[in-house]
Amino acid sequence: MAEEKVSSTGEEDSQVVNPWEVTAKDGDKIDYDKLIEQFGCQRLGADLVQRVERLTGRPAHVFLRRGVFFAHRDFDEILDLYERGEKFYLYTGRGPSSEALHFGHLIPFMFTKYLQDAFKVPLVIQLTDDEKCMWKNISIEESKRLARENARDIIACGFDVTRTFIFSDFNYLGGKFYENMVKVANCVTFNKVVGIFGFTREDHIGKISFPPVQAVPSFPSSFPHLFADKNNKVNDNLRCLIPCAIDQDPYFRMTRDVAPRIGYQKPSLIESTFFPALQGENGKMSASDPNSAIYVTDSPKDIKNKVNRYAFSGGQDSIEKHRKLGANLEVDIPVKYLSFFLDDDAELEHIKEEYGSGRMLTGQVKARLIEVLSELVERHRRGRALVTDEMVDAFMAVRPLPFMFS
């Protein structure tokens, strides 16, 4: 079975993209074309977006239209089988490392909710509290607590409890899930994970043996309570689609490599770009700097303040210069953020036109962004207020979902 090809770069100063580190080359922007080439995945073209619209009978999600979700592996196969009347399920996840979620964290969830509604398919969400425990050196209790807290924000994104199973590794591992982990682990050498994830001999064995945990939710037999029939048989041909940020690609490259060897189907992927920090593409969104991102707990005043003071502007230094030269849309963060969250294509085009030509000022663009973000945060806040402990328990209960494909 041909392995997933990954071209080796060998250059010291090239960009680094893996689940634990994302750095551009030399303080530059991330080169996504190069990344696609390096990883060996496919670009998600306009034809696929149109096909999605046709098959789902509704406009494509703004993230698809704007190229936020821009790469894939075998997404066309998922569309093929869907067109034939077959089913698939969704799998996404979060490493619960902090209580505060910002918009960058929400992006895969907002998109996954759209996929769930548009295709009417079930979803499993993995909270890797064990991973964060190991990587961030927090206690097991704290990890588990953060997992539940994050689950509330995730639920607030609008997932359907009759189609969604949320689980945390500390709670769920065992049974068939663990059997699959062993199957996967048997197929991946130490050398391999060193190559894929950059592990060293100094890394503790918890980290080194973690990858199978994130791999096996791609296989329906890991969830017998969802996908097994009355005779306890699981249809191993049920395909899985994984929406994620592209830095997670290594996990699933490994998974796709292993899958056929253990008699399972390869999961398909649909991958997103990274969400830039307020200070610009070169800035880092970090938990230690609250001004680097907009958090779902920010008040309208916070949002206004952060955008006005910290959002990197591509506008010129003076109004005269700006009217003359227009804004640099490449580096302007407000326009970038609007391209993620402003649904109206025509309005966005108009803003880009006017701002790029200098007729619109930075202040106006920022004002519009503040409006859009405030509305999103408010909607999220309202939703989250309605998520009770019982609701989290219900989403996380190991229970069948009889209407998950309806």
Partner 1 sequence: MGFTKDQLLDRLKELQINFVCYDHPVVLTVEAQAKYVGHLGGLLSKNLLLKDKKHRYYVVSALANTNVDLKVLSQRLGLGKGGLRMAPEESLQEILQVPLGCVTPFALINESAGTVSFLLDQGFKSQECCFFHPLSNDATISLGSSGLEKFLTSLGRKPAYVDLEATPLVGKDNPPDLADFVPSGVPALSDSAEKAPPIQPPVVTQAPENVKSTSAGKASIKAKVQSGTTEKPKSTVNPLIEATDVEKVIEEIFAKFASAVQSENKQEEIETSLFDGVRKRITTDLQMQMMSFKNAAYSQGFQAGVEAVRIAMKNMSFRS
Residues in touch with partner 1 (CB under 8 A):
54-55, 57, 82-87, 117, 120, 155, 158-162, 227-230, 233-235, 237-238, 379, 382-383, 386-388, 390-391, 393-395, 397, 399-400, 402-403, 405-406
Q: CB 298 → partner 1: shortest distance, Å? A: 19
SS (H, E, C) the chain: CCCCCCCCCCCCCCCEEECCEEECHHHCCCCHHHHHHHHCCEECCHHHHHHHHHHHCCCCCHHHHCCCEEEEECHHHHHHHHHCCCCEEEEEEECCCCCCCEHHHHHHHHHHHHHHHHHCCCEEEEECHHHHHHHCCCCHHHHHHHHHHHHHHHHHCCCCCCCEEEEEHHHHCCHHHHHHHHHHHCCCCHHHHHHHHCCCCCCCHHHHCCHHHHHHHHCHHHCHHHHECCCCCECCCCEEEEEEEHHHHHHHHHHHHHHHHHCCCCCEEEEECCCCECCECCCCCCCCCHHHCCECCCCHHHHHHHHHHHCCCCCCCCHHHHHHHCCCCCCCHHHHHHHHHCCCHHHHHHHHHHHHHCCCCHHHHHHHHHHHHHHHHHHHHHHHHCCCHHHHHHHHCCCCCCCCCC
Which residue, 210 or 227, is less far from partner 1 as judged by CB?
A: 227
Which of 55, 140 has the CB closer to partner 1? Answer: 55
CB of 340 to partner 1, least distance (A): 16
Nearer to partner 1, 81 or 329 (CB): 81
Q: Toward partner 1, which CB reaches closer, 325 or 398?
A: 398
Query: What minimum distance in Å lies between the beta carbon of 289 and partner 1?
Result: 30
**Count of Cβ atoms closer than 10 Å to residue 103 Cβ:** 21
Q: Up-side HSE of residue 39: CA atoms within 13 Å toward CB?
A: 29
Q: Cα 328 from chain centroid?
A: 28
Least distance from partner 1 to the Cβ atom of residue 91, Å: 15
Give the end-to-end CA distance of the chain in Å, rounded to a whole number: 36
Distance between CA atoms of residues 226 and 335, nearest Å: 42
Query: Rounded to an integer, what distance in angstroms lies between the CA atom of residue 242 and that of residue 350?
Result: 34
For partner 1, the closer CB: 162 or 286: 162
Nearer of residues 84 and 204 to partner 1, judged by Cβ: 84
Closest to partner 1 by CB, 161 or 173: 161
CB of 374 to partner 1, least distance (A): 13
- In the complex, the smallest distance separating the C-beta of residue 347 from partner 1, rounded to whole angstroms, is 12
- Give me the least distance between CB of 387 and partner 1, in Å please: 8
> Between 43 and 350, whose beta carbon lies closer to partner 1?
350
CB of 296 to partner 1, least distance (A): 14
Minimal distance, residue 394 CB to partner 1, in Å? 4
Q: Which is nearer to partner 1, 156 or 215 (CB)?
A: 156
Which residue, 59 or 206, has its beta carbon nearer to partner 1?
Answer: 59
| Residue 115 Cβ vs partner 1, minimum distance, rounded to whole Å | 14
